[in-house]
Structure 1
Amino acid sequence: MYFELCVFEPVSQPAVKIIGNCSTPNITLSCSASNGTNVTFHWRKQSLFGAIGDTYKGTELVIDDVNGKEQHEYRCIAENPVSNSTSDPVKPKLCNGNKGLLWIILLSLIPVSLFVWYSIISKETGRATQEHNEQTIAFTSKFIEPTYTTLLKPRRTV
């Protein structure tokens, strides 16, 4: 009779390393466990609303759509025949390639808005000033028909 005794060390909590950033077309999540014998790894993708998505096998997970609109969190699960352990959630930051363009558009609207505002205020102020500077004078005399004249007072410059 033959017996085989296998001793497995329980796995430790996996550590996740993020490789890549917004300047690369994708990022890679790399998972490792410092302790454990015959450890296998897989990834669980979960939406931020709690819905569990796909699972992926392996120590590395490549995320191609870093510019995507929907963000997920990922967990690495390390397991062997006697134990399993899950990493803390990892939420890769979304890259927004249009963020710089948005700032340029917003900043370029400021001078245009100021110009429009100044034009409107100038016209309103000009009308108000003109209205206050006008004076109607009526000349009456026995020998001359009534005549009405509008005089403009000179504007004061400040």
Structure 2
Amino acid sequence: INLYFHVSSAEPVSKPSITAKCLRDNITLSCFSSQGSEVTYSWETLPPCGNDSCVHLGQTMEIHPLPPSESTSYVCAAQNPVSRATSDPVDLGVCSIPQPPGRGWVPILCPVTATLCLIGIIIIL
């Protein structure tokens, strides 16, 4: 009788971190655990939905289009055969960077006004 054993030693996973890539009304969330072997990733919503439809498998998750006034947070879980760790929650508001009113016009108007004044001075001379 020949017996064969397969022994693998998996390194425990570290607490994963989340990065968000924001492009218009799309968000791509990426999860990374700096330690661990044979790591698999999943995403869960907070608060939990109570069924599997709120779980996404994979290291990245794309959300598009963004739901208006979304209040759901997401956590990433990294796991392997010996351990499981969960990230801090991230809210979809991470991509919302409000602009102060009227501020977007200032960088455009100043150079245009300066250029028109310079052209006027050159014409007069």
> Structure 1 residue runs of 4+, over 2 Å off?
none
- Are 2:23 and 1:17 equivalent residues in the alignment? no
Is the contact between residue 70 and residue 92 of structure 2 (CA under 8 Å) also seen in structure 1?
Answer: no
Alignment of 1:126-141 (within 5 A): none
> Which of 3, 6, 14 does residue 4 from structure 1 map onto?
6
> Equivalent residue for 1:136?
none
> Equivalent residue for 1:32?
32
- Give the counterpart letter for 1:5 in structure 2: V
- Give the counterpart letter for 1:66 in structure 2: L
CA distance in 1, matches of 2:92, 2:70: 11
Q: Report how far residue 69 of structure 1 moved.
A: 2.4
> Equivalent residue for 2:110?
none
CA distance in 2, matches of 1:13, 1:29: 16
- Give the counterpart letter for 1:14 in structure 2: P
> Equivalent residue for 2:85?
85
- Give the counterpart letter for 1:15 in structure 2: S
CA distance in 1, matches of 2:95, 2:28: 14
> Equivalent residue for 1:63?
63
Q: Deviations over 1:54-79 (max 9, x none)?
A: 11000111111325123110000000
- Give the counterpart letter for 1:90 in structure 2: V
Is the contact between residue 41 and residue 77 of structure 2 (CA under 8 Å) also seen in structure 1?
Answer: yes
CA distance in 1, matches of 2:26, 2:68: 11
CA distance in 1, matches of 2:81, 2:70: 35
Q: TM-score, normalised by structure 1?
A: 0.53
Distance change >3 Å, CA 95–CA 5, structure 1 → 2: closer
CA distance in 2, matches of 1:15, 1:40: 14
Q: Report how far residue 95 of structure 1 moved.
A: 7.1
Structure 2 gaps, min length 5: 103-125
Structure 1 gaps, min length 5: 105-158
Question: Aligned Cα RMSD in Å?
Answer: 2.3
How many pairs were matched up?
A: 94
Is the contact between residue 66 and residue 95 of structure 1 (CA under 8 Å) also seen in structure 2?
Answer: no
Distance change >3 Å, CA 37–CA 26, structure 1 → 2: same
